[in-house]
Amino acid sequence: MKKNGIYKSIMWIIALIPSAVTAVILPGMPDNVPMHFDINGNVDRWGSKYEELIVVFTLLAMTLSMHFVITFFEKKGAKAEDEKTKAECTTNAKVASIAGIIMAVFSGVAYVSILCSTTQMVKTGSETPSINSERIICVMMGVLFIVLGNIMTRTRRNALVGFRCGWTQYNDNTWKKSNRFGAILMMIAGVLALIMALVMDNPVHAMAVTVGMVILITIATLVYAHRIYVIEKTNDNAGEGR
């Protein structure tokens, strides 16, 4: 569990970087700054620069929630009396820690790129951002899906981390197969998101397609999980009837 403590420290250090960048940049920004862009990258809403603090607090709240998830598994593992439960909690705590770090990096890079783009626009008086933050975000989404898909296969059955529903929670086999299936689809989506981010002229379109892929992955994984659940349930019922 000592490694998880290191992971949590790394996660918090990364999560606090956007706060530090905001503290440095915000005082020098004008009161009104670009807050939203249309599909072509043009500003369609201006707002108070202090609205940036809402994003900062949201990022910190996300990190805090991951911190609680990791701590939950650590405490559960410490109290567990059997080795199987301890091993499961150790694995899930590690997976949650890595996921927390990856999410902190993704959200931090996305936010800082947008903040720097906004700052540059204010300084130059431009109506369009000089930094293509949408493309950066799309690339990060691809990387995020690939990494999360990779670590998703390592999770053990639990109620907090992984692809969770009643069908996947039925037994260890339904959990393992369903999460592996969803993880493979997620990694494929990540590769496609990276390709679209680098090839498509409008990265906003690439982001929209990526979101659509996530919805399809969720539906496909649910269908697959139900299929595995039915098979496992049928086998269990057949075993009880002997």
The pLDDT tens digits for 149-185 are: 888 888 888 877 788 888 898 998 999 999 999 999 9
Tell the burial category of 208 from Cβ atoms under 10 Å away from its Cβ (0-12, 13-18, 19+).
middle
The residues facing 37 across adjacent strands are 43
Confidence of residue 236 (pLDDT cuts 50, 70, 90): confident
Instruction: Give backbone dihedrals phi and psi of 155, rounded to 5 degrees, phi first.
Output: -70, 150
pLDDT at position 4, please? 67
What are 53's two structure tokens?
Answer: 């603090």
Distance CA 212, CA 215 (A): 5
Check residues 100 and 131 and name the one with the higher pLDDT. Answer: 100
| pLDDT tens digits, one per residue of 199-218 | 887 777 788 888 899 899 99
When the pLDDT of each residue in the chain is averaged and rounded to a whole number, the result is: 84
Which of 76, 73, 68, 66 is closest to 99 using CA atoms?
66
pLDDT at position 114, please? 79
pLDDT at position 14, please? 92
Q: 3-state SS of the chain: helix, strand, coil percent to 5?
A: 75, 5, 20
Mean pLDDT throughout 58-69? 91
The residues facing 43 across adjacent strands are 37
Contact call for residues 47 and 33 (beta carbons, < 8 A): yes
C-alpha pair distances (Å), 45 with each of 38, 80, 135, 203: 9, 53, 20, 20
Instruction: Give backbone dihedrals phi and psi of 13, rounded to 5 degrees, phi first.
Output: -60, -45
pLDDT at position 217, please? 92
Confidence of residue 92 (pLDDT cuts 50, 70, 90): confident
What is the number of helices (H) and of strands (E) in the chain?
6, 2
Confidence of residue 36 (pLDDT cuts 50, 70, 90): low
pLDDT at position 44, please? 65
pLDDT at position 122, please? 72
Residue 43 confidence (pLDDT) above 80: no
Tell the burial category of 33 from Cβ atoms under 10 Å away from its Cβ (0-12, 13-18, 19+).
buried
Q: Please tell me whether residue 88 adopts helix, strand or coil conformation.
A: helix
